[in-house]
Structure 1
């Protein structure tokens, strides 16, 4: 097990144990950094992460190109996706709700019909 540390939106420190596979994914997908061989640190609070994604994507929905103000997971959390900059995009509310827990390919294919 690896210790993951971070801060809440209000600045409180937290820590939890995560398995090695998750720790590697979080570091590889730029959501955490290695502190030492036993510890990683999350780079974003929830609020900071949301602001980062919306700003990065210029508040433009990844799916339809309209104004977006929500965050969507390309690979849904329900199917093993994580909240990382690589797996998250800006989405409008309609696209986010329509996609729900579908894989990206299934959602795009369904829209093409």
Structure 2
């Protein structure tokens, strides 16, 4: 994960603000992988929003 943070210079891939969380660009549950090309830094605010959206899509798929 350190390599991803270094590559992205600890900047959120969505908004450009500082971000240290390493996130799957495409969630594993939606077909994403653990490849470096699918991992990126994300800030807390964007991570919360993205997680909420992914959760809503997951719930919709189950129904």
The TM tier, using the shorter chain, reads 0.7 to 0.9
RMSD, aligned CA? 1.3
Query: Where in structure 2 are there 5+ consecutive unaligned residues?
Result: 56-63
Normalising by structure 1, we get a TM-score of 0.44
How far, CA to CA, are the matches of 1:93 and 1:71 in structure 2? 10
Higher relative CO (Cα under 8 Å, sequence separation at least 6) belongs to 2
How far, CA to CA, are the matches of 1:94 and 1:66 in structure 2? 10
Normalising by structure 2, we get a TM-score of 0.76
Partner residue of 2:24? 73
Structure with the larger helix share: 2
Q: Which has the larger radius of gyration?
A: 1
Output one character per residue of 1:54-104: Cα deviation in whole Å (capped at 9) or x when no partner.
Answer: 0000000000110001011111111111111111111001111211127xx
Partner residue of 2:61? none
